[in-house]
Chain A
């Protein structure tokens, strides 16, 4: 595309005078980073070979065959990502893929790709997500894998939903891994502060989608200066195609926001973030109380020290709220996204999960 209106250079007039001024150089680098960010094509994502095991509405259940060279895992692993982001975060790059990594370690892996809801799905609420979509997806996983139960690995909001599902329908859940999954929302960090002042009924229509513009702006405000420094980071790695590819794959994920259905957003924001009903045990789904103490399978709570989206204080209480005998808490030295797509994943986190799934 021809750039008819390039970004103006505020330092053009003073450049000769300020050429040796270090700070100007930094600003110039940010501008170059912005240009790279805007012009470079985004790399392909979700490339790990898989088959589609099941489809329902926008939900696609992706099945990843375990590596024949690794000792085979006994039960299938179901990865449940957040509803408000693209599921390919779990398969961003071939060598940094959560689903690909677990399959390479010998586990039959299934990814619940929620898809992108359309306006016709605006009335899909928490009950539909848990008791219709996730429940059926898990049933199909068990059928596809020929196994009576499966391990569930829920990431971020997907972890919260997985915990709720395990509390409501514990029969098919062999073990639960909650990765950066908030359950005590009063400690939910800045995002909680954002929505605590929101008049949910006025701001969100139950029969419409929550626009990606609104959600994108909210996520950008979680780390305002990060939106500036990321251009510097992109400029720094401009000469390394591999590193640049990695950064742009993450950018693609951040750019491709998924709208939330109005009914789900209303219920989740009110019941979870504003009234903290999950930890209190007062959340009801289709008249059934969601009691975390009903979870009796082994539970692994993984949180990240550098996570400002789900602070560890919001995630770790799950271990004490469940009724399981076997619980494990791990504070990982990584960030909210880095734990899955950074080098930390294949080096530390995937082997840690492999051990957990084989031991429980």
Chain B
């Protein structure tokens, strides 16, 4: 903590300053809360806006007389640029949306193709299994029914 000021005159000055600051704050609060002041401020803003408009209109007229592009002309060109940008962005939005749809369709198609390929593979495996089983079932039957060896040609009777 700071040591108390030895000079009472200086302390008095500091106290006076603090009191002034406090009084000023209170005064400003009163001013800013008074409806009269706020109303006057509102009117002043309106007058400022009117003067600015008149000044800008006057400048526009002067520029027009000098055959130079006025503020209004530049604003119009700026607005056209903004509108064109908006149109381009809308087109970009549409394109991005279409790309999203194409992407999702591609994904769906790819998924469907993968599923189909998997189904075919499964079917092929199933078929191979069936063929294996068939071969296994058919083999013993063939073995039993088929002649063991080629029969020898019979001798002709009386053929000594």
Contact = CB atoms under 8 A, between A and B. Distances in A.
A24 B9 CA distance: 11
A287 interface: no
A118 B79 CA distance: 10
Main secondary structure of the interface of B (DSSP, over half): helix
B85 A22 contact: no
A197 B25 CA distance: 23
A120 B46 contact: no
A29 to B, nearest CB: 10
A202 B46 contact: yes
A26 B71 CA distance: 48
A123 B48 CA distance: 20
Interface size class of B (residues with CB under 8 A): 35 or more
A197 B41 contact: yes
Interface size class of A (residues with CB under 8 A): 35 or more
A333 interface: no
A193 interface: yes
Contacts, number: 109
B96 A143 contact: yes
Nearest to A211: B52
Given A20-B9, A197-B38, A57 B85 contact: yes
B41 A120 contact: no
Interface stretch (B12-20, B124-132, B137-145): B12-20
Interface in A165-194: 190, 193-194
A182 to B, nearest CB: 19
Contact of A190 (B5, B9, B25, B32): B32
A27 B82 contact: no
Interface string A16-48: 001011111111000000000000000000000
A136 B17 contact: no
Cβ-closest 5 pairs across A and B: A120-B78, A22-B14, A23-B17, A22-B13, A23-B13
Interface of B: 5, 7, 9-17, 20-21, 24-25, 28, 32-33, 35, 38-39, 41-43, 45-46, 48-50, 52-53, 56, 71, 74-79, 81-82, 85-86, 89, 93, 96
Interface of A: 18, 20-27, 56-57, 118-123, 132, 136, 139, 143, 190, 193-194, 196-199, 202-205, 208, 211, 214, 221, 224-225, 228-229
15 contacts: A20-B9, A21-B10, A21-B12, A23-B14, A23-B16, A23-B17, A24-B13, A119-B74, A120-B78, A197-B35, A197-B42, A198-B45, A203-B49, A221-B32, A228-B21
